[in-house]
Amino acid sequence: MLEYLCISYYSKCTFQRFILKNILLRCNISIWDNEDNDIPHDILLEMSKEKHGLLCSAFCKIDKNVLEVAGKQLRVVSTISVGLDHIDVNECKKRDIKVGFVPSIGTSATAELGVGLLLATSRSIVEGTKVAKGGSWGTWKPMRLCGPSLEGSTVGFFGLGRIGLAMLQRLKPFGVKYFKYNTPNKKTKQFETEHGVSCATFNDLLATSDFLISCSSLTSTTKNKFNKEAFDMMKATSIYINISRGGVVQQDDLYQALVEGKIRAAGLDVTTPEPLPINHPLLQLSNCVITPHLGTCAEETITAMSELAARNLLAGLENTPMPSQYKI
């Protein structure tokens, strides 16, 4: 009988129902069924012993130690996420372990969250809600809680993959004047013309963007890309949004930039670490809106991601083609 471990707080939602329907009769299942806490690493190691498959979320680190403890019979690691920085994919390759992921399902939901975060930050929606609830509404003051409009603005994208492009399309009706992007590989002229976007150097992106959105993956070249030097080059009126990975930002430098007025505001759906400690300085700032990694948190999206992750797992266990396998 095949053995696999489900390490995910999604285990009580549609994913679990799918598993029980499709896998239960063929596999023995071990589940970390605590929705309030991530699995401690020592328990993860213990539960991973002699497993044929592992299923995880982006908040569970599948490192070399976990793979070693699981044993030589481990066939597949399936994650309910787009990013793979929590999995040692190189070690999986050495051990001929298949890796499944869910690369495109969360695109729309994450783009929607990005637009919402941008609007919440620029138009002081969170701070305005506090004013309304806190009893300090008072007399109307024309410039109180005012923020910049998207109309006539320049929006820059650091990284322009599926999510960035989806967000760009959603921002067009707001009357944005210029869209710019910076990626390791320049897009074709046809692509730029079709989508109304122009390539910029990183320094130009910093200097000219009224709204700068991070949509890049976390790599050795993007880690801490947004640091003191970068924030010093941005407009004092600019707003920085991060919906990619917390590691692309040097958070201490971001804090100083916000406090010193080097930039106007920031909106973050990703941080380092996650969750961010409640006493973290960024959480104390009125010009920084932080959400708890809500990018893919649309009901339809989570359901679809969970089912695809389950199908990837089952295919890997049965040595059949995976619906969505990461090519290591």
Say how far apart CA 4 and CA 327 lie, in whole Å: 22
Cβ 115 vs Cβ 171: under 8 Å: yes
Is 63 buried (19+), middle (13-18) or exposed (0-12) by CB count in 10 A? middle
Instruction: Tell me the sheet residues that pair with 79.
Output: 56
Nearest CA-CA partner of 310 in 72, 31, 26, 100: 100
Distant-in-sequence contacts of 199-202, Cβ < 8 A, 24+ apart: 200/156, 202/158, 202/230
Dihedral sign from CA coordinates of 18, 27, 66, 90: negative
Phi and psi of 295, rounded to 5°?
-45, -50
**3-class DSSP state of 239:** strand
Say how far apart CA 206 and CA 212 lie, in whole Å: 7
**Token pair of 208 as six digits:** 């000219």
Residues in the chain: 328
Is 103 buried (19+), middle (13-18) or exposed (0-12) by CB count in 10 A? middle
- Which candidate in 52, 86, 280, 293 is catalytic? 293
Active site (annotated) includes residue 41? no
For residue 142, cis peptide bond before it (omega within 30 degrees of 0): no
Instruction: Tell me the sheet residues that pair with 64.
Output: none
Query: What single-letter DSSP state applies at residue 298?
Result: -
Active-site residue list: 293
